[in-house]
Chains A and B, each alone.
Chain A
Amino acid sequence: DSGVTQTPKHLITATGQRVTLRCSPRSGDLSVYWYQQSLDQGLQFLIQYYNGEERAKGNILERFSAQQFPDLHSELNLSSLELGDSALYFCASSVDSASSYNSPLHFGNGTRLTVT
């Protein structure tokens, strides 16, 4: 058990809809990362938050947004969903500090999103 909790495990929704994925990081970890894993794109970095602030942005679409709350949990919001957004979305956390950026990632078990 990595200590990272993601909910829900599965999500089935229709095109055009909006969903929210939730992540609770490992106790003590200040950084939260979101990754998208699909068969054709592999594991793609979406966005990182550190202690409530956005720290790095990857291949995240304009339709997607995220935030990290004061209790350090994070939510990834996906809107105007398209069939191509179907994927496994992973949250990961790490003990990064303000000066150390390279701690190993601890992954949750993911949320499988199916857009029909």
Chain B
Amino acid sequence: AQSVTQPDIHITVSEGASLELRCNYSYGATPYLFWYVQSPGQGLQLLLKYFSGDTLVQGIKGFEAEFKRSQSSFNLRKPSVHWSDAAEYFCAVAGYAGKSTFGDGTTLTVKP
């Protein structure tokens, strides 16, 4: 069965600092991986996706993620965080019939 683990429930960073959110997945074949962001009162919005090819993928809002098969990881990064990045971030893996399995999310707080 597929699964996703986001080890950090809550992360706080200062505005302008770099960010890395961790994601580890378990899936029996080549995974389809996604990062979504959820702002308060909103639905989830796709940040980026990995299907195949280049292991470093670029997304919206200046985010990027790196797929590392050997570590079963798909960590999300941003070089300089803005206050508007404060939100909850979800990593997801897609498998049969498109049933995406989501991690429990990481809440990002940005200090001024």
Q: Contact residues of A with B, CB < 8 Å?
A: 2, 4, 31, 33, 42-43, 45, 48, 50, 55-56, 58, 90, 92, 94, 96, 101-110
5 shortest A-B CB distances, which residue pairs?
Answer: A107-B43, A56-B97, A101-B98, A102-B32, A102-B94
Q: Report Cα–Cα, A76/B102, bound state, in Å.
A: 21
Q: Report Cα–Cα, A102/B51, bound state, in Å.
A: 9
Interface residues on B, range: 20 to 34
Q: Closest residue of chain B to A112, judged by CB?
A: B41
Q: A43-B102, A90-B43 are in contact. Are A104 and B34 (CB under 8 A)?
A: yes
Chain A residues near B46 (CB, 8 Å)?
104-106
Among B32, B43, B96, B101, the residue within 8 A (CB) of A109 is B43
* Residue from A56, A90, A102, A103 whose CB has the most chain B CB atoms within 10 Å: A102
Chain A residues near B102 (CB, 8 Å)?
42-43, 45
A43→B105 contact, CB < 8 A: yes
Q: A107-B44, A109-B43 are in contact. Are A94 and B101 (CB under 8 A)?
A: no
Q: Report Cα–Cα, A102/B97, bound state, in Å.
A: 7
Q: List 20 A-B contacts (CB under 8 A).
A: A2-B43, A2-B45, A31-B98, A43-B44, A55-B98, A56-B96, A90-B44, A94-B98, A101-B95, A101-B97, A102-B51, A102-B95, A103-B98, A104-B34, A106-B46, A107-B36, A107-B45, A108-B43, A109-B41, A110-B43
